[in-house]
Amino acid sequence: MPDKTNEKEKPSPVEDPRKTDQDISREEKIARLAEAGVDLFPYRAEQTHSVFAIVRDFAALTREGLEEKKAEVVVPGRILSIRKMGRATFATLSDSRAKLQIYLREDQVGEKAYRIFSLLDIGDIIDVRGTLFKTKTGELTVLVQAYAFLAKCQHPLPEKWHGLQDVELRYRRRYLDLIMNPDVGDVFRLRSLMIAEIRRFFDARGYVEVETPMMQPIPGGALARPFKTFHNALGIDLYLRIAPELYLKRLVVGGMEKVYEINRNFRNEGISSEHNPEFTMLEFYEAYSDYHDMMELTEELLHSLCLTLFGKEEFPYGDEVISFKRPFARLKYKDGLLSHSGLAPARFDSRSEVIAFAATLAAENQPLSYGKALDAIFDKLVKPKIVQPTFIIDPPKEISPLAKASREDPEQAERFELVVAGMEIANAFSELSDPQEQRKRFEQQAEELKKGDQESHWIDLDYVQALEYGLPPTGGEGIGIDRLTMLLANRKSIREVILFPLLRPR
């Protein structure tokens, strides 16, 4: 079916929820403020400090110490609560990282300004100028001399005590989530720091960060179903990438010996607490190394992330404590199957029996090949039992069409997955560099594709041609950034670490 994505479609109008008494009250206030000549949407605001900086720098001082300093501040923020007592008002100002109390007195700001302040609503953004002091209960507070409106909030905020609980609303209107739930901002600040640290890690080792196509004529580098789109001028189908892998290895052919990319992948598959259709992947490739080197590098990376970001090696995750102490455990794929699947070792000798057993686990996607059957058993029975960081080594070659065969067993691939808390966090191999072999593997995949397996790899002859010019021995790896964030931030759903996870449009 031809894709119509470039044809303009009218955006569905934002529903205008019917007005409530609260909306009406705020409209009236806006009108009254306009009459009073108050500019509700000024162009810029003075600022000597952020709320966060004030709390950080002054909260520890004593009342007397603060008094001596006579600290004058101009600070913007959003009003989260108001406590009015006649001719004086306390309110809470927030900048999403911290909260700061402000204290407004009629005898300080004047009668008119105080009257106008009563038109302030919870949710409004204002700028206050004043002096820091501590109340008799010891709370750091700004005694306000003057204030200005920076933006009017036209809707009531979620309830102040319980915050915003509705999970759907939290994702659909992430801004409300960020305003009401300070933990949420912390997760995304952590994510940002983590990515910055990853860049520092690779840059320090001489890696070059690159960007490769997000729109590809042949979606390669992973076994997954792609999103399809259409380029009008060229008249061709394009696919959103499922992985950058094949392009990054073309760069290694070209002599960029250490490359990495942090960017989005798109897979047209189910949504779950561990899957979002678009997700962020780190991929890195290093010439002259193999998957053993990648294991070392992975341990080093994760260990250093933990120390740099948290200064510790152990983290709570749900009910578990995850330790990133080196070295991580290593478990042969085959041994994992033997020890965790509950299947008698002898039964692995019979290919048909393995396939039959796997079929009882996976109702869909039949008939399974031997390799896929093993993987189904592994994913279902073994992976969930692995809690501590563990390299799962040498899976079947059949499900690893881009990896070199194992030096120890030609039926296995030189590949590992890093599993933590039952989640696959990383996937790496000694990259297959023999173009003839690669062509053969692609052809085998094409057979599977013909049989109806939509997650087989497509044939990419342009990539084979690149290999024909010579890919040096190369270790390559992908690390799921979202899942790594889940681990470090102790979040059980990928939607808690993606600002705008995909939801059905309203």
Site for RNA in 127-146 (CB under 7 A): 133, 135-139, 141
How far apart CA 339 and CA 44 sit, in angstroms, is 65
Of residues 86 and 255, the one with the C-beta less far from RNA: 86
Of residues 141 and 341, the one with the C-beta less far from RNA: 141
How far apart CA 110 and CA 113 sit, in angstroms, is 6
- Span 278-337, contacts to RNA by CB under 7 A: 279
Alpha helix (H) ranges present in 214-330? 245-253, 291-310
Handedness of CA 211, 216, 222, 226 (dihedral sign): positive
Whether residue 153 contacts residue 94, with contact meaning beta carbons closer than 8 Å, is answered with: no
Of residues 82 and 309, the one with the C-beta less far from RNA: 82
Count of residues that interact with RNA, criterion CB under 7 A: 79
Q: Which of 15, 16, 21, 349 binds RNA (CB under 7 A)?
A: 21
- The backbone region for 96, taken as left when phi is positive above 0, alpha when psi lies in -120 to 50, beta otherwise, is left
- Span 423-442, contacts to RNA by CB under 7 A: 423-424, 427
Of residues 287 and 301, the one with the C-beta less far from RNA: 301
Whether residue 148 contacts residue 45, with contact meaning beta carbons closer than 8 Å, is answered with: yes
Q: How many separate helices (H) and strands (E) can be counted in the chain?
A: 16, 18
Give the long-range contacts of residues 82-85, CB within 8 A, separation 24 or more.
Answer: 82/120, 82/122, 84/118
Of residues 167 and 329, the one with the C-beta less far from RNA: 167
Q: If binding is defined by CB under 7 A, does position 361 make contact with RNA?
A: yes
Q: Name the segment binding RNA (CB under 7 A); options: 14-22, 231-239, 252-260, 390-398.
A: 14-22
Whether residue 116 contacts residue 38, with contact meaning beta carbons closer than 8 Å, is answered with: yes
- Span 220-259, contacts to RNA by CB under 7 A: 222-224
- Span 29-48, contacts to RNA by CB under 7 A: 29
Q: Report the 10 Å Cβ neighbour count for 160.
A: 11
Is the preceding peptide bond at 327 cis, omega within 30 degrees of 0?
Answer: yes
The CB-of-53 to RNA minimum distance in angstroms stands at: 19
How far apart CA 448 and CA 451 sit, in angstroms, is 5
Residue 91, classed as helix, strand or coil, is strand
- Span 66-105, contacts to RNA by CB under 7 A: 81-88, 90, 101, 103, 105
Q: Residue 314 has which token pair?
A: 């152990």
Whether residue 308 contacts residue 190, with contact meaning beta carbons closer than 8 Å, is answered with: no
Q: Which of 9, 64, 107, 349 binds RNA (CB under 7 A)?
A: 107
How far apart CA 337 and CA 377 sit, in angstroms, is 8
Q: Which of 55, 113, 122, 449 binds RNA (CB under 7 A)?
A: 122
The CB-of-194 to RNA minimum distance in angstroms stands at: 16
Residue 422 DSSP symbol: T
Of residues 253 and 294, the one with the C-beta less far from RNA: 294
Q: Which of 4, 5, 6, 20 binds RNA (CB under 7 A)?
A: 20
The CB-of-505 to RNA minimum distance in angstroms stands at: 8
Q: Which of 182, 185, 217, 277 binds RNA (CB under 7 A)?
A: 277
Of residues 51 and 287, the one with the C-beta less far from RNA: 51
- The backbone region for 86, taken as left when phi is positive above 0, alpha when psi lies in -120 to 50, beta otherwise, is left
The CB-of-16 to RNA minimum distance in angstroms stands at: 13
Q: If binding is defined by CB under 7 A, does position 272 make contact with RNA?
A: yes
Q: If binding is defined by CB under 7 A, does position 154 make contact with RNA?
A: no
How far apart CA 438 and CA 226 sit, in angstroms, is 21
Angle between helices 481-489 and 291-310 (to 10 degrees): 40
Question: x-or-dash pattern for RNA, window 373-402, by CB under 7 A?
Answer: --xx--xx----------------------
The CB-of-368 to RNA minimum distance in angstroms stands at: 8
Of residues 138 and 327, the one with the C-beta less far from RNA: 138
The CB-of-481 to RNA minimum distance in angstroms stands at: 9
The vertex-362 CA angle with 361 and 366, nearest 5°, equals 130
Q: Name the segment binding RNA (CB under 7 A); options: 197-205, 307-315, 369-377, 435-443.
A: 369-377
How far apart CA 69 and CA 491 sit, in angstroms, is 42
Q: Which of 44, 70, 162, 450 binds RNA (CB under 7 A)?
A: 162
Which residue type occupies 281? M
Of residues 256 and 356, the one with the C-beta less far from RNA: 356
